[in-house]
């Protein structure tokens, strides 16, 4: 991140304002290219963070966008023709049941974390499918 800041600082310093002529001269010819590189670096950093976060997931949950709606309904324990209110209710019930903060035992705590992530993914999948918040 420091390298990106240094690049931006270099671009900013390369622009000089001449008070006599009222002109701004860019002393850095490749500022557009440099800004594109900075944007690409930031996008790559974001993508690598997302990849790192997803790499810790088990094979049973491959992320929000890859969850199958049928599996999501099964995880929440509801029928495929359930209403939005039923989906929300089932989600709340499952989260209350499996939330890691409710689990005192350390060995079950990790399982509860995984189950909670799975429930969140299922709910997110159905939210996207049905188009609600």
Cα 2 to the chain's mean position, in Å? 23
H or E stretch at 25: strand 23-26
CA atoms within 13 A on the CB side of 52: 6
Q: What percent of the chain has pLDDT over 70?
A: 61
DSSP 27: S
Inform me whether the pLDDT recorded for 26 exceeds 60: no
Domain of residue 121, residue span: 69-130
Inform me whether the pLDDT recorded for 35 exceeds 60: yes
pLDDT digits (tens, 9 = 90+) for 47-74: 666 655 555 444 343 444 578 999 999 9
Would you say the pTM of this structure is higher than 0.75?
A: no
Same domain, yes or no: 75 and 49? no
Tokens of 27: 């002393």
Inform me whether the pLDDT recorded for 116 exceeds 60: yes
Q: Say how many residues make up the chain.
A: 133
- Res. 75 pLDDT band, cuts 50 70 90: very high
**What's the domain count of the chain?**
2
Q: Find out whether 28 and 10 touch, Cβ atoms under 8 Å.
A: yes
Indicate whether 64 belongs to any domain: no
Indicate whether 60 belongs to any domain: no
Torsion of CA 98, 118, 84, 68, to 10 degrees: -150
């Amino acid at each position: 991140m420091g390298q990106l800041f240094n690049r931006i600082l270099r671009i900013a310093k390369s622009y000089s304002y001449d008070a006599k002529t009222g002109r701004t001269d860019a002393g850095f010819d490749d500022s557009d290219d440099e800004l594109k590189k900075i944007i690409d670096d930031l996008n790559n950093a974001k993508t690598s963070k997302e990849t790192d976060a997803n790499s810790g997931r088990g094979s049973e949950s491959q992320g929000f966008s890859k969850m199958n709606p049928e599996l999501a309904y099964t995880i929440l324990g509801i029928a495929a023709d359930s209403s939005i209110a039923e989906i929300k209710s089932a989600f709340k019930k499952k989260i209350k049941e499996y939330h890691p903060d409710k689990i005192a035992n350390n060995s079950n705590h990790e399982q509860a974390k995984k189950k909670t992530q799975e429930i969140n993914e299922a709910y997110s999948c159905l939210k996207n499918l049905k188009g609600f918040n």
